[in-house]
Structures are given as C-alpha cells and as structure tokens.
Amino acid sequence: MVRLITHNLLACHVKGCNTNNFPLQFRDIQIELREAEFNPDFLKGFMPKIEWKALVDAARQLGDTSLPLEQPEMLDDEFLKNLHHVLLEVKEV
C-alpha cells in the first residue's frame, strides 16, 4: 500500500530501468481512502520536497482533480486540505 506522499519520492532502481524512471506509473490498481490527521505545518514544510507535476499527474491517474496544474504560491486552507487529502489519505492498494 503506497500513499502519494511516498509515491512522489520513488524512482525505479531496478537494473535495466532507463533515465525515464520517475514518477512510477500506476497500472491496474485500486485506491483506498484512509482518514489522516490534518497538520498544515507539516504540509507547508513538505512543499519544497514535492515534485509538483508528478504529484498532480499521479493524483489525476487516480481520479482526483482537486490540485491545480501549477503549484500555487499562496497556501490557503482549502488548498492545504486538498493537498493533505491527496498526499496522506489516498492510498494505492
């Protein structure tokens, strides 16, 4: 089971993988939603580590369109709640 916060940090290191090894692609998966405690300070601190395009693409592969295509400069509550949901509550099973 992988949350998108973990998926956003993973690349293929198997022998034979080429340089196009990030982000890992989802195939034939199911998703599960698990509630997680909302911590806006954690999300704000984690933002610089996020590969934004990879996160948005992964979320859209899983059917979630709540994140904007471009990483916002203003981190309002609505955005942080959407980010929290995508990163910490959506899990690939």
pTM for the model stands at 0.74
Using an 8 Å Cβ cutoff, are 13 and 68 in contact?
no
Mean per-residue pLDDT over the chain, rounded? 79
Q: Which domains does the chain have, with CATH numbers?
A: 2-92 (2.20.25.10)
How confident is the model at residue 69, as a pLDDT? Answer: 95
How confident is the model at residue 50, as a pLDDT? Answer: 86
Residue, of 21 and 84, whose pLDDT is higher: 84
Half-sphere exposure of 32 (CA within 13 A, CB side): 9
Residue, of 16 and 79, whose pLDDT is higher: 79
